[in-house]
Structure 1
């Protein structure tokens, strides 16, 4: 799998009884039809931490089966190395083109423990791995030195960083600092949708996107503008979405808002998140519906 362009992360719609198989298949098929560069199943937006091994294996198979040949990356994060290895095996058996690994923990991990995790996993992989740097969820902060050590391991091919500085020149400097520490074959990708355009403009090779998983045409327009070197247009298209980024921030992240949007658009049955998580309601939900219309997201 080549880590470049737009990697779109869909929801994993579910009830307390199990995965909403038909809705998930539709979400993945929409992404393939839109022409995204890759699909990220079982990322944070895919609620991987809330699923059993059997449910995760099923989602991985469904994603690959409905992706129409688009490369699928599957999240394998878990609390124990033993379980991460099991999820990696399941993802590879399902036909995943890559895996995504965050250092999930209950006890705070040390840098040596995180390195040991990635060392153990990469020894047992036959597909590329993307390092998922997500301190907001894992409470673990990677140093650039640790990224460099992990990036030298076999099969590591991308690093998913949590945003870039607000100033474009500062963003370029941040990407360049990390770029200097990792092998040439390892791409640097940006996450956090508000940072997507700026990250691509700063030299990131891929945007790992939540809105790409629900509104792929909107995210693709930003991505393709950046790829052809039209930085001004990419930043303009992203700035146009600032009210959406503001709503995400107000709601504590994008997951609950994107779940509400998918429900409102009839793409999934509500409620679609694993309890105790809930899609946004009330005034925030009404504001989201207004933005979907005004920004022509649907």
Structure 2
């Protein structure tokens, strides 16, 4: 299942918890668009800010609303016992896979990161995607660590950060990692503005922020790259540069939060405190970019 476009929606929240109606509609919208999988409770989904009960509730909503489209659910937490509990909840809800980032407060050694994945994969009955996201977790994976983890049972994919900006270097980056992992483990790119580079360099999947709100736009790019039309994928990504610039400047989560609110897909506020939405001047910039790119329909 770790192929193509995996779309990561917001988990809309308000003072009383998750807005289940809005969340179900977001997930159903992705399923109807034909995405290859849906990433519930990724970083865009604000998993780190939700309680176990809220996360279990969100996963149940996602699986039901996905209507058969595979759902992978984030299970990251500070303690291994909490990760195992979240994995149990997700599997009971019927997810097709889980996504694990090694969250931490104290810096983790490579052996501690490996031990986390060893403990968790031993208990799983569904595949796992390794979530390599140093921008939020501050855990930096070496390729050698990825190679060790990829040998564990039930590991099915690695979600890497953005690749180098030069196409040849991007290809070398993907090839170097692929040489250390089994053929059964796919590589997926994140960092949306580098997605076309990663897919053209041989990544199997795109774990996408924009795909969670604008699935058709992301699908067009992903399908172009996956069909071998590298130039079209690059052109489609280049056309989205005004949006990528906002992502880099303000963070993709807050930009997608503003976009979803503007489109009426969620209420306002829709982020868990202490996170706050963009101020009015930046929201105006977001709306201007959406209008310019034709993303308001």
**What is the TM-score normalised by the length of structure 2?**
0.99
Tell me the distance in 2 between the aligned counterparts of 1:202 and 1:137. Answer: 24
SS in 1 for 2:278: coil
Aligned to 1:56: 55
| Pairwise CA distance, 1:136 | 0.5
Aligned to 1:288: 286
Aligned to 2:276: 278
* Structure 1: gaps of 5 or more residues: none
* Structure 2: gaps of 5 or more residues: none
Aligned to 2:266: 268
SS in 2 for 1:237: helix
Tell me the distance in 1 between the aligned counterparts of 2:137 and 2:108. Answer: 9
Aligned to 1:169: 168
* Aligned counterparts, 1:42-121, within 5 A: 42-121=41-120
SS in 1 for 2:106: coil
**What is the TM-score normalised by the length of structure 1?**
0.99
Aligned to 1:10: 9
Tell me the distance in 1 between the aligned counterparts of 2:64 and 2:283. Answer: 33
Aligned to 2:224: 225
Matched, 1:32 2:19: no
Aligned to 1:197: 196
Matched, 1:236 2:235: yes
Aligned to 1:254: 252
Aligned to 2:127: 128
Tell me the distance in 2 between the aligned counterparts of 1:231 and 1:19. Answer: 39
Q: Deviations over 1:185-206 (max 9, x none)?
A: 0000000100111110000000
Q: Deviations over 1:241-290 (max 9, x none)?
A: 11111111111x20011001111111100000011111212221111101
Q: Deviations over 1:109-146 (max 9, x none)?
A: 11000000000000000000000000000111000000
Tell me the distance in 2 between the aligned counterparts of 1:198 and 1:92. Answer: 33
| Pairwise CA distance, 1:104 | 0.1
Tell me the distance in 2 between the aligned counterparts of 1:177 and 1:194. Answer: 22
Tell me the distance in 2 between the aligned counterparts of 1:294 and 1:217. Answer: 17
Matched, 1:185 2:179: no
Q: Deviations over 1:133-191 (max 9, x none)?
A: 00000111000000000000000000000010000111000000000000000000000
Tell me the distance in 1 between the aligned counterparts of 2:124 and 2:243. Answer: 38
Aligned to 2:148: 149
| Pairwise CA distance, 1:11 | 0.3
Tell me the distance in 1 between the aligned counterparts of 2:28 and 2:208. Answer: 17
- Runs of 4+ with deviation above 4 angstroms: none
SS in 1 for 2:194: helix
Tell me the distance in 2 between the aligned counterparts of 1:291 and 1:265. Answer: 13
Tell me the distance in 2 between the aligned counterparts of 1:171 and 1:106. Answer: 31
Tell me the distance in 2 between the aligned counterparts of 1:15 and 1:282. Answer: 19
Tell me the distance in 1 between the aligned counterparts of 2:295 and 2:233. Answer: 16
Tell me the distance in 2 between the aligned counterparts of 1:29 and 1:151. Answer: 32
| Pairwise CA distance, 1:16 | 2.0
Q: CA RMSD in A?
A: 0.6
